[in-house]
Chain A
Amino acid sequence: MARKTPGINTGSMADISFLLLTFFLLTSSINTEQGIPRRLPPHATEEVKEQINERNVLNVVVNFKNEISVNSQIVFINQLKDKAKEFIENPYDDPNLPVKETKSIDYIGDYRVSQGVISLKNDQSTSYDVYIQVQNELEKAVNELRDKVSLQYFGKKYELLDTALQSAVKKAVPMQISEAKPMDWSNTGE
């Protein structure tokens, strides 16, 4: 009569897949690539001296002692965000803060866009950590302003908008950071 076909021994299968599993665990890394995105300005052979109105520039300097100063006034890192926000937004149309130019933006309509530029300057001896903290604070300032605009016009946070609306908000609150040529404390011998 028909005999039962012998079952294939699958006991070793688990071992083989375990081996594969450990191999992948060892050769791969879980951490995803994340960071603060930035766009560098294109390389210019000559330093272009742009004529920028004094009131449109916020000078942020990080010196060799890792001290942060905003318009020659030393601040702590946790004050920087509010300073930057106040500068970009210019809520009371202060004559010492940036000019606003009325632009018509899709989806938003006429919006008075701040012309403020944050000029970031660091020393060659500045620590990278402090530099990133400063970049982070500035990014946070811009993000909060964008959130504010998008809540006002679209009733949603900036992150949750779709791309077309996001770019509209981006036009309303542009991220303007210009990085000046770094200074070198050790060379000037100050």
Chain B
Amino acid sequence: MARFKKENTKELPEINTGSMSDIIFMFLFFFMVITNMRETNVKVKFTEPSATEIQKLEKKSLVETIYIGEPLNKNENTIPPGKISVQLNDQTIKQEDLETQVQDFIARAKESRSDEDKNKLTFSLKVDKNVEMRYVNVIKTELRKNNALKISYATRKKVEN
């Protein structure tokens, strides 16, 4: 009886898990290719407006993002009169520093690119749809002053009925 039992366990086939890692690696590469790394922590809340006539920005590396929206955290700097934050890189900016900060931001963005790429640099404005235009106008004037003229209003694709 005991002998019979022993033989039976021996014959139980093991599941081959060798190809499992290959499959997972395939997944991994797939995700690495189609996604891009999140570089900054977004500190403002924003829902992009939707539009139909949108274009994809060609190169990720030539895009700098400016976020405008309600702050997620109450301690963030806001710009009067509404409680709206403007975020460049990793921080929200103060009203009084706005001009210099934007200037620095643009200068740094241009510095880190080659001369050829400087003209292709696009500033993507990610703005919450409930924000009043005054904030966007301020940023636009600053961009113009600093000769950063290529912009893109980030939008989502609207599903047409």
Q: Which residues from chain A sit less than 8 Å from chain B, CB to CB?
A: 10-11, 13-14, 16-18, 20-21, 24-25, 27-30, 32-43, 122-129, 131-133, 135-136, 139-140, 143, 182, 184
Contact = CB atoms under 8 A, between A and B. Distances in A.
A180 to B, nearest CB: 11
Contacts of A40: 140, 143-144, 148-151
B118 to A, nearest CB: 15
A42 B146 CA distance: 9
Interface in B1-57: 17-18, 20-21, 24-25, 27-28, 31-32, 34-38, 49, 51-57
Given A33-B57, A34-B154, A34-B155, A125 B31 contact: no
A140 B51 CA distance: 10
A124 B132 contact: yes
A139 to B, nearest CB: 4
Interface stretch (B87-95, B106-114, B120-128): B120-128
Contacts of A43: 141, 144-145, 147
By CB atoms of chain B within 10 A, which of A27, A37, A41, A125 has the most?
A: A37
Contacts of A29: 35-36, 38
A128 B55 contact: no
A21 B27 contact: yes
A182 B134 CA distance: 8
Pick from B20, B37, B53 the residue with the most CB of A within 10 Å.
B53
Given A10-B18, A21-B27, A35 B152 contact: yes
Contacts of A182: 133-134, 137
Contact of A128 (B31, B38, B60, B127): B127
Max chain A C-beta neighbours (<10 A), residue from B52, B122, B157 = B52
Contact of A126 (B34, B133, B149): B133
A27 B36 CA distance: 9
A10 B21 CA distance: 8
Contact of A131 (B25, B128, B133, B156): B133
A132 B155 contact: yes
Given A17-B28, A34-B57, A136-B155, 7 more contacts: A10-B18, A18-B24, A35-B55, A35-B124, A35-B152, A125-B132, A140-B53
A28 B54 CA distance: 23
A17 B21 contact: yes
Contacts of B28: 17, 20-21, 24
B24 A35 contact: no
Contact of B56 (A34, A131, A184): A34
B129 interface: yes
Q: Which 10 A-B pairs have the closest CB atoms?
A: A28-B35, A129-B129, A13-B21, A124-B134, A17-B24, A35-B152, A136-B51, A139-B53, A43-B144, A14-B20
A106 to B, nearest CB: 23
B133 A128 contact: yes
B52 A140 contact: yes
A98 to B, nearest CB: 22
A127 B132 contact: yes
B121 to A, nearest CB: 13
